[in-house]
């Protein structure tokens, strides 16, 4: 019997525990393909830990460049405006609120976010510390769909036309079809943000809010796009015309973010980003 | 998976069919219903679904050495203040167990604890919204009396799914008194235990080189001699960069010491605890109370009076050093000071502060991700005080009918650290409680409570009153009010009132409530959950069979 105990202990001891030696960071670059990944970052200007997620996004952006698209979705109590001159901005949108209600982002504790709306271990909402590994996994998978986007904006009427062309590059299944959403974001809005890591005072008056969600051109859940994923090379064109961009938005800093997702699993197949005005 | 559950359930049902003759079925049931109303003044919101309903039922079937069980749970929708990822219903817990005197085997879900839980504790606490049960295999063997060895492997529950990591562990414990009867004749026992727990999680991170296998090892010794009990436990964990520690590569360590002396009418417990980098989860990205492999025991008193529990301690896995002394003395009965029935005095003092962390190099900031992070030594004290609680409780029975309990507490609460906020003032509060129960006769009783909390910080002063009347033994009605009369904002000097009607019969209980709940935090043993403000009706029904 003693031998049996000893055996168990030896077997367990043989499990290596991985002692990592410095440097602790990976070396080498990242292979680039046409595949793009979208991170929807649920955030709020009163959430003092949220800038940690913003910094992680900047960091990932520095690794993946244009292959990584991000949207900052301000939701819940953390996104409430306070007074006019102090946290007065209200970045919440109907689309953001609907996404928040559906995914329960606010309840799960901000910051959190979704990478390509992929369920990881049963959950859409992922901690920002998890984004990097999920982005790496997704970008290592073959590209199935290609999206090209053109935007035309009339500065006088503030009307925006968007055309998205989708093309199947690799066979895939979508049991309940594919849907396309086209979101509008505004980049580099300067305003208040609480930041736990800001020395001295966590209230930062001139924080740069990146890629803030301003709304959707075709509803929170978008529309069906008629494309057959089982046929290589099949193509579809999706158009939105005459969308009015709010006068309070700086159109020079606005982007359209179209993405195609599986209507059943919600997972995004491919995303794209284009400037509203060039 | 569904098929497996069906087969298990079907076999259970068929077993139940014969239960009257051979086996035994028991279990329990509970449901909590919340109907929400809006109250913007206290920040209570009515969600679109208007009601939060949480319910569960355990069915445990026992037949000789064999036990099987399932738990059905429903969260439609998850009550406010709990993670809405629980939304849904199903059977997240089912197991089959075979147990003899010498060994036990469990397949399916199980809860287990090694030592004090410092290295592994899988448990469930519905009030905290915790369920980190392991789904896998557990085997335990006691071939010689006094020697137990356990082994387990599995994945932890994560809402309606399982976490990404695999948990593996072994634990052994030897009781010397069981092995050597001579020791037990001398009232001496020495219990020695040791564990190793390892988790596996894939590394897909593009930035960091992450350890895929993280092992923790621990040892413990308990010596009891007559009225004296001395215990110690030490755990060492290798590099485990995670969201909790900010992706640093420092190893973790924890040491707990305690000494207890007790004799009739007197007891004293002294405890010390020091640790750093001891968050241990089966996913390095998990947060809140999710996927915790270990449990850091608290060494502060868990206060039960509502105002005394307003500023509770939350364990700090990233580093803390603390001490606690707990003294209990019973003044003898039929003396001038002790009174006719005797008087119990309990004194408690706890002190927890930061552990001292020093830079690993001049060029590396403390806690910088992708580095060792910091250097630390157990039982070194940092500059920051986290928590201090001094409290005294006097319990005296005046007559056959009248019982009293008085309490005073002085508490220091480091708001930022314990609530994970920034820029909030630390709280220093004094709390006084008078709790008086009067038993009218065997079926009727009255209970009153008066509490007051005085502080110049946070929400300011509070007063609380409770009146509860128990009648016909089984019914009770209670009115209570927490009044925030000292709130610095006049408009927020609010009465948080509650009306409660309850009925108990055997193991069954029904309780209906209406009123307001203040926002705050609740902690059980140093593990906490934020509680949102709420206004509306509550209904709780529970029974066991």
- The secondary structure of B327-352 as a DSSP string is EEEEEPTTBTTTBTT-EEEEEEEEEE
DSSP state of A101: H
Tokens linked to B200: 């596996």
Interchain contact, B206 vs A126, CB within 8 Å = no
Q: What Rg value do the Cα atoms of chain A yield, rounded?
A: 22
Q: Is position B438 within any domain?
A: no
Q: How far is residue B312's CA from residue B527's CA, in Å, rounded to a whole number?
A: 10
Which percentage of chain A shows pLDDT scores above 70? 92
Interchain contact, B214 vs A18, CB within 8 Å = yes
Angle in degrees, CA B211, B214, B217, rounded to 5? 150
Cα torsion A104, A110, A116, A121: sign: negative
Cα torsion A107, A112, A113, A115: sign: negative
pLDDT given at position B18: 47
Average pLDDT, chain B: 92
Per DSSP, the three-state class of A254 is strand
pLDDT reading at B20 higher than 60: no
Interchain contact, A136 vs B206, CB within 8 Å = yes
DSSP state of A278: -
Burial of B205 (0-12, 13-18, 19+ CB in 10 A): buried
Are B198 and A125 contacting, i.e. CB atoms less than 8 angstroms apart? no
Tokens linked to B135: 């789904």
Average pLDDT over residues B46-55: 92
Total domains, chain B: 1
Q: Is position B448 within any domain?
A: no
Interchain contact, A25 vs B207, CB within 8 Å = yes
Interchain contact, B85 vs A108, CB within 8 Å = yes
Interchain contact, A19 vs B238, CB within 8 Å = yes
Cβ within 8 Å of B, A 33-92:
48-49, 59-60, 63, 77
pLDDT digit string, tens, across residues B316-337: 999 999 999 999 999 999 888 8
Higher pLDDT, A199 or B314: B314
- Topology of domain A35-275 in CATH is Immunoglobulin-like (2.60.40)
pLDDT reading at A26 higher than 80: no
* Range in B107-116, B200-209, B392-401 the model is least confident about: B200-209
Are B245 and B253 contacting, i.e. CB atoms less than 8 angstroms apart? no
Q: How far is residue A107's CA from residue A79's CA, in Å, rounded to a whole number?
A: 13
Name which of B209, B247, B249 is nearest A129 (Cβ-Cβ): B247
pLDDT given at position B10: 54
Cβ within 8 Å of B, A 108-147:
108-109, 120-123, 125-127, 129-130, 132-137
Per DSSP, the three-state class of B383 is strand
pLDDT given at position B456: 96
pLDDT given at position B195: 96
Number of CB atoms found within 10 A of residue B40's CB: 9
Q: How far is residue B274's CA from residue A224's CA, in Å, rounded to a whole number?
A: 58
Interchain contact, A24 vs B203, CB within 8 Å = no
N-to-C CA span, chain A: 78
Confidence of residue A25 (pLDDT cuts 50, 70, 90): confident
Q: How far is residue B254's CA from residue B317's CA, in Å, rounded to a whole number?
A: 9
Sequence ranges of the domains in chain A: 35-275
pLDDT reading at B16 higher than 70: no
Cβ neighbours for A267, distance < 8 A, ≥ 6 positions apart? A116, A117, A118, A119, A261
Q: Is position B85 within any domain?
A: yes
Contacts of B204 in chain A (CB under 8 A): 133-134, 136-137
CA dihedral B16, B17, B21, B26 (to 10 degrees): 20
pLDDT reading at B301 higher than 60: yes
Mutate to test the interface with A, among B199, B205, B213 (most CBs of A within 10 A): B205
Mutate to test the interface with B, among A94, A119, A127, A197 (most CBs of B within 10 A): A127
Cα–Cα distance list, B98 to B62, B95, B373 (Å): 10, 10, 46
Per DSSP, the three-state class of B491 is helix
pLDDT digit string, tens, across residues B462-500: 999 999 999 998 999 999 999 999 999 999 999 999 999
Interchain contact, A121 vs B144, CB within 8 Å = no
Give pTM, 2 decimals: 0.76
- CA-based nearest residue to B293, from B346, B327, B244, B342: B244
Longest dimension (CA), chain A: 88
Q: How far is residue B414's CA from residue B346's CA, in Å, rounded to a whole number?
A: 25
pLDDT given at position B205: 79
Structural domain boundaries, residue B79:
1-99
Contacts of A58 in chain B (CB under 8 A): none
Mutate to test the interface with A, among B43, B164, B209 (most CBs of A within 10 A): B209
pLDDT reading at B17 higher than 90: no
Contacts of A23 in chain B (CB under 8 A): 209
Name which of B159, B198, B371 is nearest A24 (Cβ-Cβ): B371
Give the chain B residue whose CA is nearest to the CA of A27: B207
Q: Is position B62 within any domain?
A: yes
pLDDT reading at B450 higher than 80: yes
**Beta strand segments in A111-202, E:** 112-115, 145-154, 159-168, 178-186, 189-194
pLDDT given at position B19: 46
Confidence of residue A13 (pLDDT cuts 50, 70, 90): low
pLDDT given at position A22: 83
Contacts of B198 in chain A (CB under 8 A): 12, 15, 17
Q: Is position B405 within any domain?
A: no
Q: Is position B299 within any domain?
A: no
Q: Is position B142 within any domain?
A: no
């Amino acid at each position: 019997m003693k031998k049996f105990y000893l055996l168990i202990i030896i077997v367990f001891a043989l499990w290596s525990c991985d002692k990592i030696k410095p440097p602790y960071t990976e070396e080498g670059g990242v292979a680039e393909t046409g595949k793009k990944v979208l991170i929807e970052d649920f955030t709020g200007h009163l959430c003092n830990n949220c800038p940690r997620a913003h910094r992680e996004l900047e960091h990932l952006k520095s690794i993946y460049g244009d292959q990584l698209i991000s949207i900052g979705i301000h939701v819940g109590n953390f996104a409430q405006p306070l007074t006019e001159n102090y946290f007065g901005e209200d970045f919440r949108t109907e689309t953001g609120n609907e996404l928040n209600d559906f995914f329960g982002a606010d309840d799960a504790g901000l910051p959190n976010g979704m990478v390509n709306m992929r369920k990881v271990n049963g959950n859409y909402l992922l901690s920002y510390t998890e984004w990097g590994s999920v982005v790496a996994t997704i970008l290592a998978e073959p590209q199935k769909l290609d999206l090209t986007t053109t935007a035309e904006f009339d500065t006088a009427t503030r009307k925006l036309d968007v055309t998205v062309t989708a093309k199947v590059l690799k066979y895939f299944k979508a049991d309940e079809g594919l849907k396309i959403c086209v979101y509008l974001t505004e980049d580099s809005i300067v305003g208040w943000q609480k930041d736990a890591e800001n020395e001295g005072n966590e209230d930062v008056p001139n924080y740069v809010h990146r890629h803030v969600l301003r709304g959707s051109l075709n509803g929170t859940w978008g529309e069906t796009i008629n494309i057959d994923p089982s046929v290589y090379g099949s193509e579809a064109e999706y158009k939105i015309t005459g969308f009015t961009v709010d006068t309070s938005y700086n159109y020079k800093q606005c982007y359209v973010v179209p993405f195609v997702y599986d209507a059943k699993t919600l997972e995004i197949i491919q995303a794209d980003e284009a400037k509203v005005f060039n | 998976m569904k098929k497996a559950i069906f087969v298990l359930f079907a076999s259970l049902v068929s077993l139940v069919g014969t239960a009257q003759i051979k086996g035994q079925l028991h279990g329990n049931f509970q449901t909590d219903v919340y109907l929400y109303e809006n109250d913007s003044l206290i920040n209570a919101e009515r969600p679109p679904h208007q009601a939060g309903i949480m319910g569960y039922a355990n069915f445990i079937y026992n037949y000789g050495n064999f036990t099987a069980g399932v738990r059905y749970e429903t969260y439609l929708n998850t009550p406010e203040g709990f993670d809405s990822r629980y939304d849904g219903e199903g059977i997240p817990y089912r197991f089959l167990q075979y147990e003899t005197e010498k060994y036990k085997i469990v397949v399916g879900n199980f809860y287990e604890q090694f030592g004090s839980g410092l290295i592994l504790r899988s448990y469930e606490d519905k009030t905290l919204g915790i369920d980190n049960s392991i789904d896998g295999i557990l085997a335990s063997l006691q071939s010689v009396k006094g020697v137990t060895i356990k082994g387990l492997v599995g994945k932890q529950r994560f809402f309606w799914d399982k976490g990404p990591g695999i948990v593996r562990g072994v634990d052994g414990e030897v009781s010397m008194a069981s092995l050597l009867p001579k020791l037990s004749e001398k009232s001496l026992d020495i219990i020695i235990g040791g564990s190793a727990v390892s988790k596996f999680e894939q590394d897909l991170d593009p930035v960091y080189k992450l350890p895929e296998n993280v092992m923790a090892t621990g040892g413990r010794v308990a010596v009891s001699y007559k009225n004296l009990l001395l215990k110690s436990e030490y755990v060492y964990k290798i590099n485990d960069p995670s969201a909790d520690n900010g992706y640093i590569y420092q190893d973790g360590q924890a040491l707990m010491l305690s000494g207890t002396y007790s004799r009739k009418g007197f007891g004293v417990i002294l405890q010390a605890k020091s640790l750093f980098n001891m968050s241990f989860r089966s996913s390095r990205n998990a947060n809140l109370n999710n996927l915790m492999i270990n449990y850091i025991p608290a060494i502060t008193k868990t206060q039960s009076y509502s105002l005394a529990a307003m500023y509770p301690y939350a364990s700090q896995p990233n580093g803390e050093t603390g001490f606690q002394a707990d003294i209990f003395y019973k003044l003898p009965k039929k003396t001038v000071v002790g009174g006719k029935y005797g008087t119990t005095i309990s004194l408690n003092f706890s002190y927890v502060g930061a552990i001292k962390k020093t830079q690993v190099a001049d060029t590396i900031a403390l806690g910088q991700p992708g580095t060792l992070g910091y250097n630390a030594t157990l039982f070194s004290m940092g500059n920051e005080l986290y928590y201090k609680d001094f409290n005294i409780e006097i319990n005296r029975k005046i007559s056959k009918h009248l019982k009293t309990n008085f309490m005073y507490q002085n508490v220091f609460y480091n708001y930022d650290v314990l609530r994970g906020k920034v820029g909030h003032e630390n709280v220093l509060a004094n709390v006084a409680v008078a709790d008086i129960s009067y038993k009218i006769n065997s079926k009727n009783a009255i209970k009153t409570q008066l509490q007051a909390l005085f502080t110049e910080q946070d929400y300011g002063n509070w007063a609380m009153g409770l009146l509860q009347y128990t009648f016909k033994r089984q019914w009770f009605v209670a009115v209570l009010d927490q009044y925030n009369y000292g709130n610095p904002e006049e408009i927020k000097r609010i009465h948080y009132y509650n009306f409660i009607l309850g009925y108990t019969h055997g193991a069954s209980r029904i309780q209906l409530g209406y009123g307001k709940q203040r926002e705050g935090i609740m902690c059980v043993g140093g593990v906490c959950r934020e509680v949102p403000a709420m206004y509306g009706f509550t209904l709780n029904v529970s029974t066991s069979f």
